[in-house]
C-alpha cells in the first residue's frame, strides 16, 4: 500500500526532525536551562513521535514513548523534580526512542525487553512521586492492551460517580448512563460505535484506545448486547461497541475528538462530559430523527457539551419548527456544510433554540484542537513560514541555474574589445545579466542551504555511546552549528564526521586514569566546530587527547608498504598517513574503530564532494582534523589554465596568486625537485605537465606559476602552460562513468562543449609523497 508507505516516510522524516529537536532541547536542559518552554517542547516531540507510532502500529515505540511521556508530564506539572538523574535518564531515553524509530524504519526487531529497564525507572519515578491514586496508570497499561478486552469494570480510583454497566441499560443503544450528580470536571464518557466501513478501511479500534489511554485515566467497556445469535451472525457485521471513561484534569473534548479524527465518518462517537453541572439526561427519545442518526452511516451524532449548547439538552425532540429539525439528521452528505445549514435555520426561525441543537459543524473541532495545541504548544515558533518541496524539484532548478550561469559566462567570454566598443548597450545588458544570474544562483543555493546543526545534533549521542563503550569520560562541545551548507554536502557529512569523532574518542582521548596521570582533566573534550572561510566551510574536529602516535603510524605504514623503508616523511606527512586505505593504529580491533576502514572513508567521502581533509597533531596535547568543504556543490569559481594542449581548472578558492615563471625565483633542492621562493617563503613546486605526463612545448619562462594554498596553510606552486581566465563551472563527476583519478577532483564542461578536468591540489601533493615512496 503505497499511500501508507508515503505516510510512513513522512513520519520518519518528522521523527528525525523531532529527534534533532530533542537533542537540542536536552543540550540546553543539560546546561541548566530547565524552563517550562523546553520541557514543553520535549513533551510535544515525544508526544508526536508516539502519536505517529501508534497510527502505524509500532507498539514497542508506543509503549516506550508512552512511559517516557508520562514521566515528562509529571515533570511538567511539577510532580517530579527535574534532577540531574532525571535529565540523564531522559537523554538515555531519547537514544532508546531513536533506536526504536530506526528499528521501525528498517523493519528490524528490537529485543522485547529493550529499554525495559529505563521504562521501569520511569514508572518508578512517576509512581514514587504521584501518590497512591495512580496505581493502574503506568507503563504497564500498554501491555494490558495487547490482551483482549473483557467487559469488566475496574474501579476508578478518583471516581465519585458510578457509571454502571448495567446490561439492562446498555440494551438501550442510544442512551447514556449519565451521572446523576454534578461531579468534578475532566470526566468524560465516550460511546464509540464503529461502522462496518471503519473495519473495511483497515482501522483498528485498539489503536484508538491506546491513543485515548494516553490522554488520561482510562477505562473501556465493550457493549456486547447487540451480538446476535450465531445463526444470524454476518461475517462482516459489526456488533460490538464500546464505552470509554476518561479522566484527566484538563482534558478537552477537542483532544478526544482528535483521537478519532482518522475514523471521522466511519463511526459514531458520543462524547459526554460528566464533569459539568448540567441537567443530567442528555437522552434522545428513540423515535426522534436525531436518535436514529447513528444508524445512518456517514453521520456522527455528537452529544453536545456545555460549550456548544446552552442549557438546552442535546436534541430537542419537541422542536416546534419541524421542518428544520427534519433537515438536521439528513445533513450528513459530505458536501453539505452544517454551518450553512445552521445559519439557514437561524434565518428561518430566529427565536427558537432549535438551531443550536444542530450537530456540531465538522469544522468546529479544528479550532478547538488548535486551541488545545496552543495550550501545550504555546511557544511553537509561529514566525517561520515554510513549505515542503520535493528535493528533486529544487535540484532541477539548481541544475538549470547552473547551466544558465555557464552560458552567461560563455557569452561574456565571447565579447572581445571590438564588440565592446561597438555595442555598448549589449555590454551593459550582459553585465546586468551577469549580476542577475549571480543573484539567482545565490538565492537558489540559499534554498538548499541548511544549518550544519542537523548533522551536529546527532553527535552528542554518538559521543555518549562511545564514552560508555570505552569507559572514558568525554565531553562534546559544538560551535557554529548555525553555519549553513548545501544540503547535499550535509548529507555527505554525516559519515565522515562520525568516523572522525569515533577516531578522536577511541584513539585520541585517553582513559581517565591516564589523563589524570598526565595532569589533564579527567574529562576529555572533543570540540566540533563549523565556520565559513571565504568560499569554503571549515568543519573542525579537535580533541585534547594524546595526539597521533607518529612512531606507530610510521611503523605500520612501513609494514604495509605505504612508505618506502628509506623514506623519512615529515611529521605532517606521517599525520596524513592515517587517511591511507586499510590503515589503523588500534592495537585491537574494537567495535568502535580499528578495522582500518574509517579514515580513508572520510577522505574519499570528502573528496567526492570536492572538499579536502587535513590533520594536525600535537603529541600529548591532542589533534585537530579540518574538513574544508565547498559552500555549494553545483557551481565552482575556477581559473581556467592550459597544460599541454588540455584545459584544466583550478578552484579559485585555493589560489593565492599567479605570476610569470620568468619573474619567479626557482631554487633546486637535493632531491632534484624545485622550490620557489615567494616573499621569503620556500614553496614546493609541482610541474603539472610533468606530473600528468603531458608534453609541454613551452619554454619555462613563458609559463606561469599558480600559487595555491592547500590544507594546513601549506602552499604549493603549480607550473602551468597558460592562464586562460576565470569563470564559473558546474562540477561533474568522473566517477559516474569512470573511476577516481589521482590528482583530479572531477570534471566540468566548458562553454565550447569540451571537458576540462578539475585539479585536486591537495591530491597532487599527496601523490608526490607516494611517488617518492615507490
Q: Tell whether residue 558 is a contact of other proteins (CB under 8 A).
A: no
Q: Tell me if 751 sits within 8 A of 410, measured CB to CB.
A: yes
Stretch that binds other proteins, among 108-116, 408-416, 640-648, 657-665 (CB under 8 A): 640-648
Q: Does 756 bind other proteins (CB under 8 A)?
A: yes
Does residue 607 bind other proteins (CB under 8 A)?
Answer: no
Cβ atoms within 10 Å, residue 249:
12
Which stretch of DSSP H or E encloses residue 626?
strand 622-630
Q: What is the DSSP letter of 356?
A: G
Choose which of 21, 604, 734, 751 interacts with other proteins (CB under 8 A): 734
For residue 404, give the nearest of 631, 756, 730 by alpha carbon.
730
Find the binder of other proteins among 150, 231, 693, 699 (CB under 8 A). Answer: 693
Q: Is 739 in the site for other proteins (CB under 8 A)?
A: yes
Comparing CB distances to other proteins, the nearer of 724 and 734 is 734
Select 329 or 746, whichever has its Cβ closest to other proteins.
746
> What's the rounded Cα separation, in Å, for the pair 496 and 489?
11
Contact region with other proteins (CB under 8 A), list: 221-229, 413-421, 557-565, 730-738: 730-738
Residue 2 binds other proteins, judged by CB under 8 A: no
Q: Return the range that interacts with other proteins (CB under 8 A); candidates 127-135, 289-297, 450-458, 752-760.
A: 752-760
Q: What sections of 319-381 are H helices per DSSP?
A: 322-330, 338-348, 365-376
* DSSP per-residue string spanning 514-575: HHHHTT--SSEEEEEEEEEETTEEEEEEEE-S----HHHHHHHHHHTTSS-TT----HHHHH
Which DSSP letter does residue 110 get? P
Q: Segment contacting other proteins (CB under 8 A): 231-239, 260-268, 602-610, 729-737?
A: 729-737
Given a contact cutoff of 8 angstroms between Cβ atoms, the answer to whether 187 and 273 are in contact is yes
**How many residues at the interface with other proteins, by CB under 8 A?**
29
Say whether residue 692 binds other proteins (CB under 8 A). yes
Asked if 407 interacts with other proteins (CB under 8 A), we say no
- Single out the residue of 564, 768, 562, 563 nearest to residue 671, CA to CA: 768
Site string for other proteins, 273-292 (x = CB under 8 A): --------------------
- The answer to the question of residue 647 lying near other proteins (CB under 8 A) is yes
Instruction: Of 393, 533, 537, 392, give the one whose Cα is nearest residue 452.
Output: 537
| Nearest in space to 661 (alpha carbons), one of 599, 607, 723 | 723
Of 466-474, 554-562, 627-635, 690-698, the segment contacting other proteins by CB under 8 A is: 690-698
CB distance 46 to 65 below 8 Å = yes
Residues 6+ apart with CB under 8 A from 254: 365, 368, 369, 371, 372
| Structural contact between residues 473 and 495, judged by C-beta atoms closer than 8 angstroms | no
Residue 642 C-beta: closest distance to other proteins, Å: 12
Distances (CA, A) of 604 to 601, 610, 769: 5, 10, 18
Strands 715-720 and 681-687: parallel
624 backbone dihedrals φ, ψ, rounded to 5°: -135, 130
By the rule CB under 8 A, 103 interacts with other proteins:
no
DSSP character at residue 453: H
In angstroms, how far apart are the furthest CA atoms of the chain?
A: 113
The answer to whether 646 contacts other proteins (rule: CB under 8 A) is yes
Q: What is the distance, to the nearest Å, from the Cα of residue 489 to the centroid of all Cα atoms in its chain?
A: 15
Nearer to other proteins, 360 or 691 (CB): 691
Q: Please state the closest distance from residue 400 (CB atom) to other proteins, in A.
A: 12
Cell of 515: 589523563
- Asked if 753 interacts with other proteins (CB under 8 A), we say yes
Q: Does 662 contact other proteins by CB under 8 A?
A: no
Smallest separation, CB 486 to other proteins (Å): 20
Return the residue of 379, 424, 677, 754 that touches other proteins, per CB under 8 A: 754
**Rounded least distance, CB 404 to other proteins, Å:** 14
The reply to whether 368 sits near other proteins by the rule CB under 8 A is no
Contact status: 723 vs other proteins (CB under 8 A): no
Q: Which of 641, 743, 762, 765 binds other proteins (CB under 8 A)?
A: 743
Three cell numbers, residue 684: 614546493
- Binding of other proteins at residue 191 (CB under 8 A)? no
Least distance CB 702 / other proteins (angstroms): 21
Give the residue, chosen from 508, 510, 747, 765, that forms a contact with other proteins under the rule CB under 8 A. 747
339 touches other proteins (CB under 8 A): no
Task: Tell which one of 144, 146, 164, 742 touches other proteins (CB under 8 A).
Answer: 742
Instruction: Identify which of residues 119 and 703 has a Cβ nearer to other proteins in the complex.
Output: 703
Distance CA 565, CA 582 (A): 19
Confirm or reject binding of residue 610 to other proteins (CB under 8 A). Answer: no
Q: Which residues bind other proteins (CB under 8 A)?
A: 644, 646-647, 691-694, 732-734, 736-739, 741-744, 747, 749, 753-757, 767, 770-771, 774
Amino acid at each position: 500500500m503505497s499511500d501508507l508507505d508515503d505516510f510512513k516516510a513522512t513520519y520518519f522524516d518528522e521523527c528525525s526532525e523531532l529527534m534533532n529537536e530533542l537533542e537540542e532541547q536536552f543540550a540546553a536542559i543539560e546546561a541548566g536551562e530547565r524552563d517550562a518552554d523546553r520541557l514543553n517542547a520535549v513533551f510535544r516531540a515525544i508526544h508526536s513521535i508516539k502519536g505517529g507510532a501508534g497510527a502505524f502500529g509500532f507498539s514497542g515505540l508506543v509503549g516506550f514513548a508512552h512511559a517516557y511521556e508520562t514521566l515528562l508530564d509529571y515533570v511538567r506539572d511539577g510532580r517530579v523534580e527535574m534532577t540531574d538523574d532525571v535529565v540523564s535518564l531522559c537523554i538515555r531515553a531519547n537514544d532508546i526512542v531513536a533506536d526504536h524509530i530506526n528499528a521501525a524504519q528498517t523493519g528490524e526487531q528490537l529485543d522485547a525487553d529493550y529499554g525495559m529497564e529505563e521504562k521501569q525507572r520511569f514508572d518508578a519515578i512517576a509512581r514514587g512521586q504521584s501518590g497512591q491514586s495512580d496505581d493502574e496508570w503506568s507503563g504497564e497499561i500498554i501491555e494490558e492492551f495487547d490482551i483482549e478486552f473483557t467487559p469488566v469494570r475496574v474501579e476508578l480510583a478518583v471516581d465519585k460517580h458510578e457509571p454502571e454497566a448495567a446490561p439492562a441499560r446498555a440494551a438501550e443503544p442510544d442512551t447514556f448512563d449519565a451521572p446523576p450528580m454534578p461531579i468534578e470536571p475532566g470526566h468524560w464518557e465516550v460511546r464509540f460505535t464503529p461502522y462496518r466501513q471503519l473495519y473495511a478501511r483497515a482501522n483498528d479500534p485498539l489503536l484508538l484506545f491506546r491513543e485515548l489511554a494516553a490522554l488520561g485515566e482510562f477505562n473501556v467497556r465493550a457493549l456486547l448486547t447487540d451480538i446476535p445469535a450465531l445463526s444470524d451472525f454476518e461475517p462482516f457485521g459489526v456488533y460490538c461497541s464500546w464505552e470509554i471513561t476518561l479522566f484527566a484534569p484538563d482534558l478537552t473534548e477537542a483532544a478526544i475528538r482528535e483521537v478519532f479524527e482518522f475514523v471521522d465518518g466511519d463511526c459514531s462517537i458520543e462524547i459526554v462530559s460528566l464533569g459539568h453541572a448540567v441537567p443530567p439526561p442528555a437522552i434522545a427519545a428513540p423515535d426522534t430523527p436525531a436518535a436514529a442518526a447513528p444508524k445512518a452511516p456517514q453521520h456522527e451524532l455528537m452529544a453536545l457539551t456545555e460549550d456548544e449548547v446552552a442549557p438546552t439538552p442535546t436534541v430537542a425532540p419537541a422542536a416546534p419548527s419541524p421542518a428544520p429539525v427534519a433537515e438536521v439528521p439528513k445533513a450528513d452528505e459530505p458536501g453539505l456544510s452544517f454551518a450553512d445549514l445552521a445559519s439557514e435555520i437561524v434565518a428561518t426561525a430566529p427565536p427558537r433554540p432549535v438551531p443550536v441543537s444542530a450537530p456540531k459543524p465538522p469544522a468546529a473541532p479544528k479550532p478547538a484542537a488548535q486551541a488545545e495545541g496552543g495550550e501545550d504548544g504555546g511557544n511553537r515558533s509561529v514566525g517561520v513560514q515554510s513549505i515542503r518541496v520535493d528535493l528533486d524539484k529544487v535540484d532541477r532548478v539548481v541544475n538549470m541555474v547552473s547551466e544558465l550561469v555557464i552560458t552567461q559566462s560563455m557569452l561574456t567570454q565571447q565579447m572581445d574589445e571590438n564588440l565592446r566598443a561597438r555595442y555598448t548597450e549589449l555590454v551593459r545588458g550582459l553585465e546586468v545579466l551577469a549580476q542577475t544570474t549571480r543573484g539567482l544562483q545565490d538565492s537558489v543555493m540559499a534554498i538548499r542551504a541548511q544549518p550544519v546543526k542537523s548533522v551536529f545534533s546527532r553527535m552528542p549521542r554518538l559521543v555518549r555511546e562511545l564514552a560508555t563503550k570505552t569507559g572514558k569520560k568525554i565531553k562534546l562541545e559544538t560551535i557554529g552549528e548555525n553555519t549553513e551548507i548545501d544540503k547535499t554536502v550535509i548529507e555527505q557529512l554525516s559519515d565522515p564526521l562520525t568516523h572522525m569523532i569515533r577516531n578522536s574518542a577511541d584513539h585520541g582521548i585517553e582513559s581517565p586514569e591516564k589523563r589524570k596521570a598526565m595532569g589533564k582533566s579527567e574529562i576529555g573534550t572533543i570540540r566540533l566546530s563549523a565556520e565559513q572561510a571565504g568560499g569554503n566551510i571549515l568543519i573542525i574536529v579537535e580533541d585534547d587527547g594524546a595526539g597521533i602516535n607518529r612512531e606507530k603510524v610510521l611503523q605500520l605504514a612501513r609494514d604495509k608498504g605505504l612508505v618506502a623503508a628509506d623514506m623519512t616523511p615529515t611529521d605532517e606527512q606521517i599525520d596524513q598517513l592515517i587517511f591511507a586505505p586499510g590503515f589503523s593504529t588500534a592495537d585491537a580491533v574494537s567495535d568502535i574503530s580499528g578495522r582500518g576502514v574509517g579514515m580513508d572513508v572520510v577522505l574519499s567521502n570528502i573528496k567526492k564532494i570536492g572538499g579536502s581533509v587535513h590533520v594536525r597533531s600535537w603529541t600529548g596535547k591532542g589533534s585537530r582534523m579540518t574538513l574544508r568543504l565547498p559552500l555549494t556543490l553545483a557551481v565552482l569559481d575556477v581559473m581556467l589554465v592550459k597544460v599541454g594542449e588540455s584545459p584544466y581548472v583550478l578552484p579559485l578558492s585555493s589560489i593565492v596568486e599567479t605570476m610569470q615563471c620568468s619573474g619567479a625565483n626557482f631554487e633546486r633542492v637535493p632531491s632534484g625537485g624545485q622550490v620557489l621562493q615567494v616573499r621569503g617563503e620556500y614553496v614546493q613546486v609541482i610541474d603539472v605537465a610533468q606530473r600528468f605526463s603531458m608534453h609541454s612545448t613551452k619554454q619555462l619562462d613563458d609559463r606561469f606559476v599558480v600559487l595555491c594554498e592547500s590544507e594546513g596553510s601549506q602552499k604549493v606552486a603549480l607550473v602551468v602552460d597558460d592562464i586562460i581566465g576565470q569563470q564559473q563551472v558546474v562540477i561533474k563527476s568522473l566517477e559516474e562513468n569512470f573511476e577516481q583519478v589521482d590528482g583530479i577532483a572531477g570534471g566540468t564542461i566548458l562553454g565550447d562543449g569540451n571537458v576540462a578536468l578539475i585539479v585536486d591540489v591537495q591530491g597532487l601533493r599527496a601523490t608526490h609523497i607516494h611517488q617518492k615512496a615507490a
